[in-house]
Structure 1
């Protein structure tokens, strides 16, 4: 997933994969994969200078998660620094 985030130029397909991994209603995903997906969301913003509103909303929801909240906060920091237009 990290390699795709860094190397795939199709931001939309990367975001779709990340959203799939972060979907609480979707199939169970290994917690380490979920944590990596949160981190990758921040990388998407940093690498592309933009991130979709659905992914931003999902990362925001995870701010309250006891296990993923810290990673979500880091990702939101990256989003704010590199794709601040996504926060409006």
Structure 2
């Protein structure tokens, strides 16, 4: 098991594959949806790498599907900003569909 501290260290890596693997690891293995959601949102907001941003958007959809909850007030604006970028529009649509399908009432309380 990789600790949250190690995950945060991995996100600072210059190795794109390490960052991608870490995104997927935290999405499927960390039992803290708020923290996983935050890490994905931070990545979407700060990464300059197209692949990393794309996977982080996809992971938001996975989090919605796995946990059946997500903070739409935090997630939706960040994801929506990427919709206008043709590189991410398909992933954004998929993530928003996952939120709509799997998150009851589309919000976290």
- Give the TM interval when normalised to the shorter protein: 0.7 to 0.9
Q: Which runs of 5+ in 1 are unaligned?
A: none
**What SS is found at the alignment partner of 1:22?**
helix
Q: Counterpart of 1:80? A: 100
**Whose relative contact order is higher, 1 or 2, with alpha carbons under 8 Å and at least 6 apart?**
1
| Stretches (4+) displaced over 6 A | none
Q: Counterpart of 2:83? A: 63
Q: Deviations over 1:39-75 (max 9, x none)?
A: 0000000000011121122112222221100100011
Using the size of structure 1 for normalisation, the TM-score is: 0.86
Total equivalences in the alignment: 84
Q: Which runs of 5+ in 2 are unaligned?
A: 1-22
Determine whether 1:22 maps to 2:41: no
Give the greater-gyration-radius structure (CA): 2
Q: Distance in 1 between matches of 2:78 and 2:27?
A: 17
Determine whether 1:2 maps to 2:29: no
